[in-house]
Structure formats: structure tokens, C-alpha cells
Chain A
Amino acid sequence: MDMELIIQLIFSFIFTACFGVIFNAPTKAIPYCGFVGAIGWIIYYTLIRYDVTEVQSSFIGAFVVAIVAQVFARRFKMPIIIFNVSGIIPLVPGGIAYNTMRNIVELDYTMGIQNGMRAFMISGAIAMGLVFAEVIIQLMMRMFKIGRTSMQSFARAKRRQK
């Protein structure tokens, strides 16, 4: 692991945690939001360095983000959206969307359409990655029948006591 990767890891962690604050995630969850984002970003970054296209890297990054988010969501009994939303922020094509808008207002429509399609494809890939991971995890849960949360088993035990 070289120096650059470590720098990327640290800064993507801070970046995502800050977005956790802006989106008002529960204070307890904010470091874990940062962790989710850092993992997703490192995978995306490594894939890009090995010349995988940006759409495919975004898909895989979002897929991993959703899986890690699902693990944390089960562990802390919070809705998965808390970890998902901040986790995908480093992958969201903000820069490309900005370039699109800038090209269009500078009347360079050809470049604008090109960049716009890129932004559209990347955000579609991110959403697909999230949904696929969620569906696959649900299927696996049903297969292994571990859908019951600890809160449910606690309540069941409490009712039995009465």
C-alpha cells in the first residue's frame, strides 16, 4: 500500500464524515458513515487506476458501499439510508455535472451533452449498485433465515415473561 492510497483513504474518510454532519446523521453513526465512504472510494480509486471505466468502477464502488452499509445498519439497528447516503457521496459525479452546466452556459452544446451523458450513466450505475446489493442481501437473508433482528427477539422474550 503506497502513500497516495493512504492519503486518499484519510481524506475520503473526513470528506464522508463531514457529509454525515451536513445530512444530520445520528452522532454515533458519523464515524461509521466516514468508514463506509472511505471503503467505497478506495475501491473506486483502485479500479480507476487499473483502467476500469468510470461507470463500471462506480457500480462496483456503490455495490460495496451498500453491502458495508447493510452490515452497519443491522449492527446499529438504524435505517440503511443513513450509511448509504453519505457513503456514495465521494462517488457522485459532482464535478462532471458542474462541467456539463458550464459547457451549456458557454454555448458548447456538444461537450455539454457528452458530459451530461457521462454524469447520467455514472449516477445510474451508482443507483443500480445500491439496489442490486440490497436485493441480493435480502435474498440471502431469506435463504439463511436470519431476518429476525435482536430487537424482535427481545420483544418476543419480554412478551413470554408476561
Chain B
Amino acid sequence: MMNKEQQYELALDCLLLAGRMMMESGAETYRVEDTMLRMARSQNIEDAQSYVTPTGIILSLGKSQVTKITSITSRITDLHKIAKVNNVSRKLSVQMITLEEAYDELRMIQKTNYFLPVHIQALAASIASSCFLVLFNGYWSDMPAAFVAGGVGFIVMLIFQKLTRVKFFSEFLAASVVGLLASLAVHFGLGSEMDKIIVGAVMPLVPGLLITNAVRDLMAGHFTAGIAKGTEAFLTAFAIGSGIAVIVAF
């Protein structure tokens, strides 16, 4: 049996791990705060306080208790992980599992990679790009060009994301590859509307989730998080825009 201090230590680690994984997977700020405080309440820690931003979390278990910080460096969209962590917190808060079991489960989740294989993701990006043309009154004959451009752009982004770890650079390159492929397709008569092909092919890169999350965080009163996410979304949009502009300008 653990003494009280050890239990608080474990609770702190457990809560921070859960919060960090959710934030890294692209959950909304208020959901992260809500999850951590709910988990704390289930362990009879009533006056826990948290301060969550997209780049770090500060969590304190109470006035005379320890406080810890964790920093968050990478943010991607991984809905599966959010669902898993949410499930653990749900089970913990209705006392179906103990704190130790929850911590073990969270560690397992942290280690596992829930992403589907890259070729399936790329295929999905290609199909999405070509479907976009239908939704926005493009020509059906442009679909193959959008299919290729969307898939290749997505793969380029993934590869350079892994190599350089600079998000702006990989998005810039992916967008310019998309622009290049689209203009080549139009040049060789394989496509007719360059604008629609480009828009369809960059859709998988567009920060739609970030923009809506930013506005929702602002509405929930998390101004720091809202502004930070809005800035990230703007940077991504700017990377895509300038990547295409480089090609279009020539």
C-alpha cells in the first residue's frame, strides 16, 4: 500500500501524461483541462488547478501540494489517441480501474502508434483531393491530376516532416510540389482548371481543425491557447500559400 505522498506523486504524473497526450493529439484546451480535473476529483483531490496552453501544461494538486510542468513540442491530429485517453479517464472517474492501472494503460497508449499505414493515408488523401472537384463544380476530367497531386503532396509533407521536423518547411515544399504537378498537368493537357486542381490537392494539408479549435478555445475563454493555435493555423496557411505562389509566379 502506498502512502499518501507517493499516491499524490503518481496522480500528478498520471494526470500530466493524460493531458500531454491529448494536447499533442490535437484536443481542445477545455477538454484537456476538464479531463485532468475530472481525474483529480475521482482521486479525492478537490482543489487541483491547471493551466493549459498549446505549448505546455502546469498542474498543481492543491495549496500545499507539489506542482509540475510539462512542455509540449509537437502537435499533430490523432483522433484515435484522444479517444483512447478519454476512455481511460472515463473508466478512472467511475472507479472501474485504480490509479496504477490507469497509469499503466496511459503508458501503453503513449508507446503505441495508432496511425494507419502511410500508403493508406496517402490513398485517402488522393481520393479526398479528387472528390473535392466534384463538390466544387470542377471538371470530371481533372480528377486524375488531382488524385496524383494530392497523394504526392501528402507523402512529401510526411517525409519532410520526419526528416526536418520543421512544419513550415515541409508544408511549403508539399504545397510547391502540388503546384508544380498541377501546372505540369495543365501544360500537358491532362487537366483544364489549374486553380481547382490545386485547391483540391492542398485540402489534406489545410489547417481546418486548427482554425475551428482556435475559435472554440477563444469562445471558451482560453485566450492564450486560442491566439497560439490561431497563429499556428495562420503560419500553415501562409506556408501553403507561399509554396504555391512560388510555382504560380514562374
Contact = CB atoms under 8 A, between A and B. Distances in A.
Interface of A: 7-8, 11-12, 14-15, 18-27, 29, 41, 77-79, 81-82, 84-85, 88-90, 92, 94-95, 97-102, 104-106, 123-124, 126-128, 130-131, 149, 151-152, 155-156, 158-159
Given A82-B82, A105-B242, A155-B96, 6 more contacts: A7-B134, A24-B114, A94-B208, A105-B245, A126-B212, A155-B95
Interface in B66-87: 77-83, 86-87
A8 B134 contact: yes
Contact of B127 (A12, A14, A24): A14
25 contacts: A8-B134, A18-B128, A18-B131, A19-B128, A20-B79, A21-B116, A22-B125, A23-B78, A24-B78, A24-B81, A92-B212, A94-B208, A98-B198, A98-B199, A98-B240, A101-B237, A101-B241, A105-B249, A123-B211, A127-B216, A128-B219, A131-B216, A149-B90, A155-B96, A159-B95
Nearest to A23: B77
Nearest to B218: A127
A82 B83 CA distance: 8
Interface in B203-250: 203-204, 206, 208-209, 211-212, 215-216, 219, 237-238, 240-242, 244-245, 248-249
Interface residues of B, number: 55
A130 B204 contact: no
A159 B114 CA distance: 32
A79 B83 contact: yes
A7 B138 CA distance: 13
Nearest to B248: A102
Contacts of A155: 91, 94-96
A89 B249 CA distance: 29
B95 A95 contact: no
A23 B237 contact: no
A124 B211 CA distance: 9
A149 B93 CA distance: 12
Contacts of A159: 95
Contact of B128 (A8, A15, A97, A99): A15
B31 A131 contact: no
- From A8, A15, A27, A29, residue with most partner B Cβ within 10 Å: A15
A128 to B, nearest CB: 8
A60 to B, nearest CB: 16
Contacts of B249: 105
A32 to B, nearest CB: 12
Given A24-B114, A79-B27, A85 B124 contact: no
A124 B204 CA distance: 20
B125 A95 contact: no
B120 A21 contact: yes
B1 interface: no
A101 B128 CA distance: 22
A27 B80 CA distance: 8
B80 A25 contact: yes
Contacts of B206: 92, 94, 97
B136 interface: yes
A11 B206 CA distance: 19
Given A105-B245, A152-B94, A21 B28 contact: no
B121 A22 contact: yes
Contacts of B199: 94-95, 98
